Amino acid sequence: MSSTTRIPAVEVTGPFGAVVKAVARRKLGLVPDSLGVMWQHRPVMMDMMSFGGKTEKWHELDLGLSTLATMAAAATVGCSFCLDCSDSWIMPISGRLAA
């Protein structure tokens, strides 16, 4: 998988950029490279963040199945970042410990 994106990343700047980076660090432990790509179109980025926040509140799906589905989707699309982060932030959030 290529490590470059079709849309070049830009520097996330300004007061709002600082807030977005702080939230990303708090939730993920780091600022993902894709934030610079999403920063090119802020309304889309905000909609994606809003939808992501809403889906975190859903509790109808079993947590183990949710974790498995997340990791399977990441493996299917080849997202190494997602697979690497699954042990560090998906499992602790779901209450599961990495084996």
Average the pLDDT over each of 34-38, 85-89, 92-96 and give the range with the smallest value.
92-96
| CA 99 – CA 92 distance, rounded (Å) | 12
| CA 80 – CA 87 distance, rounded (Å) | 12
Domain ranges of the chain: 1-58, 60-99
| CA 70 – CA 81 distance, rounded (Å) | 12
Place of tokens 């809403």: 54
Cα within 13 Å of Cα(31), Cβ side: 16
Angle, CA 20 vertex, CA 44 and CA 33 arms, to 5°? 75
Q: Summarize pLDDT for 5-54 with one digit per residue, the tens.
A: 678 888 988 999 999 999 888 888 888 888 888 888 889 888 888 888 78
For residue 67, which of 32, 34, 92 has the smallest C-alpha distance? 92
